[in-house]
Amino acid sequence: MTMKNKYVKRSRISEAKFRELIRHFSLDIPSQNIAILINLNRNTVNRYILEIRKRIAEFCEQESPFHGEIEVDESYFGAKRIKGKRGRGAGSKTPVFGILQRQGKVYTEIIPDCAKSTFYLHLKECEFRFNYRNINIYVILLKVFRKYPLF
């Protein structure tokens, strides 16, 4: 029995559709627009993108130069209190994430709408895109998925 898609085990979409999804993902196009462009259901695209981000996180963990203790901080900036709300959920607070790296430099990033469960995956995707900013991400992702298929 031949595989329908060499990048995804038990795939219900063709290899060409998956490559197209990866191409749009590497161009940083939102998932709703990807679903429209490649004519797939929004839930299917979201599921694949979540799995892609999980695989990127695994890939980044393998190449991580950090070992031992790393100082990480998360802060929320905005109004102290909005009537009826307190603490972190007080209205429109903006989450900012920082990492203390070598030579005492602090790097921060404002986080777009990101749930707690997907924050780590978002962070690893940003790390991956930054580390490979001068290289075609599409080619790298295809190599990773060829070696370690999804699902």
Q: Torsion-angle region of residue 3: left (phi > 0), alpha (psi -120 to 50) or beta?
A: beta
Whether 52 and 25 have beta carbons less than 8 Å apart is answered as yes
State whether 47 and 25 are in the same domain. yes
Please state the length of the chain. Answer: 151
List strands edge to edge, sheet with 94-100: 72-77, 94-100, 106-110
Total Cβ atoms within 10 A of residue 7: 20
Query: Is 6 a domain residue?
Result: no
The percent helix, strand, coil of the chain (3-state, each to 5) is 50, 15, 35
Which token pair is 30?
């939102």
Q: Do 81 and 139 belong together in one domain?
A: no
H or E element at residue 53: helix 42-62
51 and 34 both lie in a single domain: yes
Reported pTM: 0.72
The predicted pLDDT at position 36 comes to 97
Residue 14 has pLDDT above 60, yes or no: yes
Instruction: Decide if 9 is inside a domain.
Output: no
- 126 and 63 share a domain? yes
* pLDDT tier at 126, thresholds 50, 70, 90: confident
pLDDT at 131 over 80: yes
Residue with tokens 């196009």: 29
Q: How many domains does the chain have?
A: 2
Q: Are residues 62 and 82 in the same domain?
A: no
Beta bridge partners of 84: none
The rounded distance, in Å, linking the Cα atoms of 114 and 122 is: 8
pLDDT tens digits, residue range 53-79?
Answer: 999 999 988 876 665 565 666 666 666
Domain with 35 in it:
15-67+116-147
CA distance 18 to 9: 12
Inside any domain, residue 3: no
Residue 82 has pLDDT above 70, yes or no: no
| Mean per-residue pLDDT, 122-132 | 85
- Identify whether residues 62 and 76 lie together within a single domain: no
Arithmetic mean of pLDDT, 110-130: 78
In a domain, 5, yes or no: no
Whether residues 26 and 41 share a domain: the answer is: yes
| 4 in any annotated domain | no
Same domain, 21 and 61: yes
Residue 21 CA to residue 31 CA, distance in Å, equals 9
10 located within any domain: no
pLDDT score for 130: 82
Q: Is residue 2 part of a domain?
A: no
- Domain assignment of residue 37, yes or no: yes
Co-location of 20 and 62 in the same domain: yes
